[in-house]
Structure 1
Amino acid sequence: MYTVAAFYRFFALTDPQSLRDELHEKFALTDLRGTTLLAPEGINGTMAGSAETMEQFLNLLVERAGLDRAEVKFSYSEKPPFRRLKFKRKREIITFRTDDPVDPARPGKYVEPVGWNELISSPDVLLLDTRNTYETEIGTFEGAVMPPLEKFSDFAQWVQEHLDPARHTKVAMFCTGGIRCEKASAYMLQQGFPEVYHLRGGILRYLEETPAEESQWKGDCYIFDERIAVRHSDLRPEDSVGE
C-alpha cells in the first residue's frame, strides 16, 4: 500500500534551489515518487511512497519549510501512482498571471470542512469552482458556478468579466487541495470583494472528513496522478468496508 500525500504552504522561501538540492540528495535513491515544486512563494507537491519514507520526507519539510502536518491530505493506493521523482524550481508554485502581483500570504477566510455545508447553503453566497473544465466535468459541489477555465491562470480574467464586488458580496470557493482557491481568494480580496471564503484543505479534506451521507459533493474528484479520480471511499477507510 502506497501512502499519497498532497501538501502546499505559502511562505517566503529565500533559497528554493538549496532546498531542492537537499531533497533530491536525501530521497533520490528511496521509493519516494511524485513532484514537488519550490518557488519564492512556497512549496507545493503530491508525493507517494512507503509509510516510512513518507514520514521521513514530511518531517524534513516540517523542519525546513514549516509545513503543518495537520494540513497534509493523505490518501492510499495499491499501485504506485507516480513513476518518477521530481523536485522542480519554479517562479510560482501556482501560476496566476495578472498585471498586479497577488500576495498569497493574505488570503480569504478559511472554512473547515465541518462548516462548509452550512456556508454554501446560504442563498447569498456565490459558490465558485476554481478548477479547470476537465476536472469539473466529473464532479463538483451542488449549486457551484463553474467558470469555463482551460487553465487556472484564466480565472482572473473571468472574474473581471463576470463578477462585481458591489453585487457579489459573499463568495466561497474551492479546488482540489486548497492551493488554487487560496491564491484566488487573495486575488479577489485585492480586487475589492468584501467577503471571500475558501475551503480549507480543498475537496480532498472535505471528502476525507465528511460522511458520505452528509456530503454535498456530487461525482468524483479529479486528481493529478495515475488514479485519475477519487471519491469518499478512497479517502475515508471506514466507507470502503465491504466494498
Structure 2
Amino acid sequence: MSFQDLRTISFYQYKNISEPHSLREELFSTWSALGIIGRIYVSSEGINAQLSVPNENFADFQNHVHSIFPKVPFKVALEESALPFKKLIIKVREKIVADGLNDETFDVTDVGRHLSADEFDHALEQDETIVVDMRNHYECEVGHFKKAYLPKAQTFREALPEVEEYLHGQEDKKILLYCTGGIRCEKASAYFKHKGFKDVNQLHGGIIDYARQINEEQRQSNFIGKNFVFDDRLGESVTDDVISNCHQCGNSCNTHTNCQNPGCNLLFIQCGSCKDDIGNYCSYQCRDIVQLPREEQIKIQQRQDEKGYKFYRSRQKHDLMRIAAEYREAQTRSQDLVPPSLPQ
C-alpha cells in the first residue's frame, strides 16, 4: 500500500482508563484488521496516537475510535509525501507524555484557555505577550512562531523547568504556549497555572491545526518553516522558509535524518551535498565503523571510552562541523585514524 492510499492523522485524549492493557489488545486487534499503521501510547490517563489509516477503512476506524473516545478531534497531516510508519505499534505506558510531574500535586484538568489560530495570531501581536515553544530543541530548530522562546531541552521533561525559570517573575503577563498537536500544552498550561501564572493560553490543536486553519483561510502564517513530526517523514512544511542549517557544513537546510550507524542513530540535519560526501552518517567515523564486521563494531562500542569512539542514540546537538574538520585534518596528516572525542 502506498502513502497515497492512506490518511495520516493524530489525536489524543486525557481520560480515565481502568484497564489500559485490555484496551491495548482491543485497539491492536481492531486496527490491525483495518490495515492501520502507526505509533500509539495508552495509559490509565488516556491515549496519544499518531497513525495512518487506509482511506477505504477510515469511516470504520472513526466509528470505532468515537465509540471509546467520544468526540475526540482528529488532526490531519499537512502532507502525504511518504509512508510515515512501517507497522502498527501500540504500547502501554505510565503516562501518554513523559513529563516527570506528580499529577497528584496539582489539578491537571485546570488547563489554559484554548485559542484558535486567529485568536493566537491576535495575541501574538500584543507587545506584552510572552510566546513559548513547548517542544524540544531539534523541533524548534527547523520551524517556530515569531517572537517565541525556544527551549534548549532534549525532552518535554527537561523543557518544563527550563521554561518555568525563563518565565519567573512574569506571572502577570499573558503567556502563549504551543506545541505540535496540543497534548504537551495541556499538561504544561495546568502546571504553570498551578505555579501562579494568571493568564495562560494555548494554541488549540497545536501547529498542525494552526496550519490547517491558515491554509483554509488563505492568510499569512506567523509560524515560520517546518513542523517536526515524530514519524518517518520527520517534518511537514508550513511555509517555504528554511531557517536552519546543515549540521555538517552550515549550508541552509531543514532536512533531519538519523545516523545509519546502528550504534549511534544520532538525529541531525544534513544537506544533499554532505549526504553525497559522507552518506547517511553523522560523521566520517560512523561511516568507517559500519564497514567493519559486526563483531568488531560491537567490540568498538564496548571499548568506546578508552578508544575515543562515541555513540549516542540521542537527540543532543553536537558540533559535527568541528568533528568533520578534525577528521579531514587527521587524514591529510596521514595519521592513524583516532576519532576525536565528542562533547557529552
Tell whether the structures are fold-level matches, with TM greater than 0.5: yes
Aligned match of 1:186: 190
Alpha-carbon distance in 2 for matches of 1:162, 1:143:
14
Q: Are 1:72 and 2:74 an aligned pair?
A: yes
**CA 1:220–1:214: 2 relative to 1, 3 Å:** same
Whether the 8 Å contact between 1:39 and 1:90 is mirrored in structure 2 is yes
The unaligned stretches of length 5 or more in structure 1 are: 235-243
SS in 1 for 2:50: strand
Alpha-carbon distance in 2 for matches of 1:223, 1:15:
29
**CA 1:233–1:9: 2 relative to 1, 3 Å:** same
Point out the structure with max Rg over C-alpha: 2
Q: Which protein has the bigger strand share?
A: 1
Q: Which of residues 4, 10, 13 is equivalent to 1:6?
A: 10
Letter paired with 2:94: R
- RCO higher in 1 or 2 (8 Å CA, sep ≥ 6)? 1
Using the TM superposition, give the Cα deviation of residue 85 of structure 1 relative to its aligned residue in structure 2, in angstroms: 0.2
Whether the 8 Å contact between 1:10 and 1:105 is mirrored in structure 2 is no
Using the TM superposition, give the Cα deviation of residue 228 of structure 1 relative to its aligned residue in structure 2, in angstroms: 1.4
Aligned match of 1:54: 58
Letter paired with 1:92: K
Alpha-carbon distance in 1 for matches of 2:121, 2:20:
38
**CA 1:106–1:167: 2 relative to 1, 3 Å:** closer
SS in 2 for 1:8: strand
Whether the 8 Å contact between 1:172 and 1:197 is mirrored in structure 2 is yes
Using the TM superposition, give the Cα deviation of residue 165 of structure 1 relative to its aligned residue in structure 2, in angstroms: 5.3
SS in 1 for 2:191: helix
Cα offsets for 1:50-77 (capped at 9, x unmatched): 1132332222111112242xx2111252
TM-score normalized by the length of structure 2: 0.63
Aligned match of 1:238: none
Q: Percent identity?
A: 29
Q: Which of residues 81, 85, 98 is equivalent to 2:101?
A: 98
Alpha-carbon distance in 2 for matches of 1:175, 1:198:
9
Q: Are 1:145 and 2:125 an aligned pair?
A: no
Q: Are 1:218 and 2:224 an aligned pair?
A: yes
Aligned length: 232
SS in 1 for 2:131: strand
SS in 2 for 1:77: coil
Aligned match of 2:86: 83
Alignment of 1:16-55 (within 5 A): 16-55=20-59
Q: Which of residues 121, 130, 136 is equivalent to 2:134?
A: 130
Aligned match of 1:157: 161
Alpha-carbon distance in 1 for matches of 2:25, 2:172:
45
Whether the 8 Å contact between 2:34 and 2:54 is mirrored in structure 1 is no
CA RMSD of aligned residues (A): 2.0
Aligned match of 1:201: 205
Whether the 8 Å contact between 1:165 and 1:193 is mirrored in structure 2 is no
Whether the 8 Å contact between 1:98 and 1:156 is mirrored in structure 2 is no
TM-score normalized by the length of structure 1: 0.88
Using the TM superposition, give the Cα deviation of residue 183 of structure 1 relative to its aligned residue in structure 2, in angstroms: 1.1
Whether the 8 Å contact between 2:120 and 2:203 is mirrored in structure 1 is yes
The unaligned stretches of length 5 or more in structure 2 are: 241-344
SS in 2 for 1:188: helix
Whether the 8 Å contact between 1:31 and 1:49 is mirrored in structure 2 is yes
Cα offsets for 1:114-162 (capped at 9, x unmatched): 2111011111111000000000000000110112111000122213433
| Worse-matched range after superposition: 155-164 or 7-16 | 155-164
